[in-house]
Each structure stands twice: as C-alpha cells, then as structure tokens.
Structure 1
Amino acid sequence: MFELIKVARKDCSKSKFSILIPSWNNLDYLQVCINSILKNSVFDHQIIVVVNDGNDGTLEWVKNNQILDYVHAKENIGICYALNICRGLIKTDYVLYANDDMYFLPNWDKILADEIEKIGHKNFMLSATMIEPTGENPCSVIRNYGNDIKSFREADLLADQEKLYRDDWNGSTWPPNIVHIDNWDLVGGMSIEYSPGMYSDPDLSRKLWEAGIRIFKGKGTSLVYHFACKSTGRIRKNKGQKTFVLKWNISAKTFQTKYLLRGQSVVNELPEIHLTTTEKLKQLIKRLKAVF
C-alpha cells in the first residue's frame, strides 16, 4: 500500500475550478506553474498538489504555502493514482488536470469558464491549448519561448500572446483538461491499469465517450506554455498503447483521429462513428498483435 498524507487547508467557497497537479521532484517548474496560476487567473481556484517523494524541497515548499491543498506520497505513484487520490479533497464542481511543467497565460480560466457557461450542461471535456517549443502536435501551437526554466522568455511569451491564438479544435484529451465532477465520478477518474500514466489521457476521453459525451473541444485562446516531458522523461513508461487497444478493441490513434477528429476545426457535438469492415479488420489485427 502507498503511504499517503492528505491535507486540506484552503477556503474554497469562492473557488471556480479544482486544479490537480501531480509533481515528482520538479520544484522549479512547479513553482513557475503555480505562480502563473496565481498571477494570470481571473478567478480564484483550489490548487491540489500531489507531492510524489518531494525530497528535492517540494514537500517543504508546499507545506509552507498555506493556499495549497496537497497529498504527499512517499514514493512516486504516477499520474493515475495521483489524480484519483485527490478526490476526497476536491471542493468545486470542475476537475482540471494540469502538468507541473506548464505556465498558464492570462485569461486562460475565464475562456474555459465562458465556454462551460455557453455549453449550458455538464457533458463535455474541454482543454486549453498548449504552446510547445518543438513537436508536431496538431492541437498545439509550436513556438519556442525556452526549453527549460533557465531559457524561458516569459516577457516575450506574454507580449506575443494574441499572436499565438488559434481556432478552437476537436479532440480534447491532453491536459490541461477539465470535466465536471459528476462525469469524473461516473467514469471512475483515471484508469490505474495505465500506471504510471502513458495513454491514460485518451483512455479518460474514451470512457467519457462511452458515457455518451460528444463535446471534446480545445479552446484556441486559452493558452498554456508546456516545457514538455520534464517528469515523464525520467520514468519507466508503461505500454499504454497496447493496454488501450486490448481494452477498447481500437487503437488510441484511431479513436483520436476517427472519433474525436483530433486537431480538426471544431464541431460542437461529434458525430456517431461507424467503422467500415476494412477498418474493423485493421483494428482486429492491431489487437491480435498486442496480444501476441
């Protein structure tokens, strides 16, 4: 069993979202992340940090920061367990999962809150849009403002914010993502068979899809800068792609591109999908390969 300590301190009576941030000995990035939330948010939010290990000074810093609720795990429990263990501390109607190596740009939260109000019900998954220094993510804006904290050009990033806006997009899976607490509970949060966490994001979207949700939208003007893989590069990764196809009988790529229309211009409610016989055969072959 994991050794866990949960601590709730913040008065959340006026908080809009509950922001869950797992962190594994990544104090410099965690400080930048939380400071950006405090500085650049329109609303007050509950921030819950999951301190994995924390022997780099993270635990002491979080303990001394009275506005943070936190969970302390004496070992690295990964993303799935970390997010699920926060459930007893969550005090708002909305669960937002964020990485500790993200910087939140001004107005990020009001854009998401306005979209939630516009939707008018709780059956959705929304994401902010990541700005990343490298890569080919069709849901991101690729622009380099620094690969690490030392090279981070915060002033340039803020000055360029409006130039970085993009159209809204389909395919919400990646953090920062937000769902209503009722739907988080309905599908059981994160699936622990993906521990420490690879492919748990599309799995959550797939579970929500199975529950009947058809709004998976990324907001192109709600922006976060993502330094990318500052923690995942240190772990032994699970074979999440294999787990996904064995669980759902389709690949994560097929789900994201065919069902969620990842990166395409936004559709308010995604259509029902019926794979062709050829596509079903391809998915069966992928599943058999995963088995053997």
Structure 2
Amino acid sequence: MKISIIIPTFNNLNYLKLFLNSIKKNSFYTEHEIILHINDGSDGTLEYAKNNKIRFSFSPKNIGLCSSMNKAYSLTTTNYILYAHDDMYFCKNWDYFLISEINSQKNNLFYLSGTNVSTRHGLINFDCGNNIEDFDEKKFEKFCLEDDTPDLQSSHWAPHIIHKELWDKIGGFSEEFNPGDGSDPDFCMKLWNANTRVFKAISKFKVYHFNSKTTRNSKVILNNGTKTFLFKYGFNPRFFRKHYLRGNISIIPYLGTLTNPIKDLNFYFELIKCKLKIFFYKMI
C-alpha cells in the first residue's frame, strides 16, 4: 500500500531534512510518495527539493496551511493522504503500524492519526529534546519500543490520514481557516458530517514533534480559528472535541466507532454558552 505524505513547509529546511530522513530511515515499506508545498523557500528549500527530485507545489509567499495542503493534494497519485508537519520525526516502522490499522477497517470512513510525543503539549509528554540540536533519537526509539500506551481516541492531531474518496467528498481543507488555526477541528467536523465515526490515534505510530517551529520562529500571524469555527458550526472546537469526538488534549483510550452526541443537560448548557459567545461577537 502506497501513501501520499503531504508536508506544507515555510523556510524550515533543517527540520524538514530531519523529518524526511526519518521517513527514509524508518519506513517499513519504501514506495510512499513525498509531496511538499513550499511557501517562499528562500532558505534553500526550493533548491533542496529540486536537487533531490522531491515533488512539490510552490507559492512565492506564505499562503497558509489550508491552501498549501489543497495545492499539494493536486499532485497526489495514491488513495491514502497523510498530512504531517515539517518539524516532526516519525518512529521506526510507522507505516507498518498505520497500514495494519487501515487494513482492519471495514470501509474508507476513518480518520487515523499518529500519537504525538513532545516535551509539552503532546498527547504524550516525554522529553527527547527541545530542538534539532539536542534531539535524542536513540532515547525516542527506546521510548517507542517500551511504551505501552493503548490506542487513543483521536482529537484532530497531526499526522493524520484519510482516504482520497473522503478527501474529495469534503473538499480538503477549508481555506477560510488560513493560515491554519482551527483548520484541523474543521477538517474533522466535515468528516463527521460525511458520516465518519472512526477517529483513532494509533499508539505504535509515534511521532516526535518540535512544537510548530515554523509558526514560533517566524512572523506568521495566526487567525482566530476558534471564532471562525464558532460562526461556521454554532459551537467552538472544544465543544466539538468533547461532545462529538469524545477526545481531548489528554490521553483517552480508544472508544470504538462513535455515536451521535449525548444531548444531556451538560450538552445544552455548554451549547448555550457557545451561542452567547456568538451573540457577544456580533455585538462588538
């Protein structure tokens, strides 16, 4: 099984090289296709992609994550679309674990993600280095071998994979969320509306994440994704995670195929709070 790995990147060449090296070194299978969307690329990324014969789409300025994903998607040739950040490092045999899970699914209505490991803000917090200079690859590999965390209830964490048919059905990423804040929960909400009910994080498919180096180290001004999501759906991403995906920003063991939200008192109380927030935004 071949996977298209899409990586939007914005002048982050050193981390991108580390990520691509992890794909080359740690993939069980070898036929996956790498597709970049290069924003700007003046740090040498453009020349690097050309010299290494990596497929890419390009924009001379940063067009945002959502537009980057959609442009790169047009170059894909496989049935499985995986989105990843350029500041990640994939574990050994990541694709073996992921493809085994895909093969166990009854149909193509699934959203599968890796398990994000980081010094902070990960599904699992474990320190293997805060940047590329002090990244302890062997420590991460040892942790991946020894960790017994179960599969988790996924809550719009990258990297994530869906089938091409599902991508086409929902129209990819919503570009009103550029440069990217809120785009992942919106993506999952569109999947939910397309009858996807399997949202699962594969524990053995671990990725080390350096906490969005691109947005932290550049002049990217983030959008108010929470507000955009709120106006689009009538509730905020937190409400969606809790009542629809049954996930959170912490470890929750996988719950199986999801059902519709339980509309109890707490559901309506929190929904009313979201509606009041919309009213507040309209008044200011």
For the superposition of Structure 1 and Structure 2, which TM-score range results when normalised by the shorter chain? over 0.9
Alignment of 1:242-281 (within 5 A): 242-262=227-247, 263-276=251-264, 277-281=268-272
Alignment of 1:71 with 2:62, yes or no, is no
- 2:95 counterpart residue number: 109
CA RMSD of aligned residues (A): 1.3
Quote the offset at 1:165 in angstroms: 4.1
- Mapped to 2, the partners of 1:179 and 1:96 lie a distance apart of 7
Alignment of 1:189 with 2:172, yes or no, is yes
Query: What fraction of aligned residue pairs are identical, expressed as a percent?
Result: 38
- Cα offsets for 1:142-186 (capped at 9, x unmatched): 011111110111122112322234111113412100000111110
One-letter identity of the residue aligned with 2:166: N
Quote the offset at 1:200 in angstroms: 0.1
- 1:170 counterpart residue number: 153
Q: Secondary structure, in 3 states, of the residue corresponding to 1:91? A: coil
- Mapped to 2, the partners of 1:80 and 1:252 lie a distance apart of 17
- Mapped to 1, the partners of 2:201 and 2:148 lie a distance apart of 12
Q: Secondary structure, in 3 states, of the residue corresponding to 1:190? A: coil
Q: Secondary structure, in 3 states, of the residue corresponding to 1:231? A: helix
| TM-score, with structure 2 as normaliser | 0.93
Which sections of structure 1, spanning at least 5 residues, go unmatched? 1-14
Pair 1:114–1:172, CA change in 2 (3 A): farther
Q: Bigger shift: 280-289 or 171-180?
A: 280-289
Quote the offset at 1:221 in angstroms: 1.0
One-letter identity of the residue aligned with 1:154: E
- Mapped to 2, the partners of 1:160 and 1:170 lie a distance apart of 21
Alignment of 1:88-107 (within 5 A): 88-107=74-93
- 1:51 counterpart residue number: 38
Which 4+ stretches in 1 moved above 4 angstroms?
none
Counterpart contact for 2:243–2:262, Cα < 8 Å: no
Counterpart contact for 1:141–1:164, Cα < 8 Å: no
One-letter identity of the residue aligned with 2:137: E
Quote the offset at 1:257 in angstroms: 1.4
Counterpart contact for 1:246–1:291, Cα < 8 Å: no
- Mapped to 2, the partners of 1:86 and 1:53 lie a distance apart of 15
Alignment of 1:126 with 2:117, yes or no, is no
- Mapped to 1, the partners of 2:111 and 2:172 lie a distance apart of 13
Quote the offset at 1:81 in angstroms: 0.3
Count of equivalent residues = 274
- Mapped to 2, the partners of 1:171 and 1:288 lie a distance apart of 31
- 1:161 counterpart residue number: 144
Quote the offset at 1:86 in angstroms: 1.6
- Cα offsets for 1:45-64 (capped at 9, x unmatched): 11001111011111111110
- Mapped to 2, the partners of 1:250 and 1:243 lie a distance apart of 10
Q: Secondary structure, in 3 states, of the residue corresponding to 2:239? A: helix
Alignment of 1:284 with 2:269, yes or no, is no
- Cα offsets for 1:242-264 (capped at 9, x unmatched): 00010010110010111111142
Counterpart contact for 2:6–2:73, Cα < 8 Å: no
Counterpart contact for 1:33–1:104, Cα < 8 Å: yes
Counterpart contact for 2:170–2:194, Cα < 8 Å: yes
Counterpart contact for 1:196–1:237, Cα < 8 Å: yes
| TM-score, with structure 1 as normaliser | 0.91
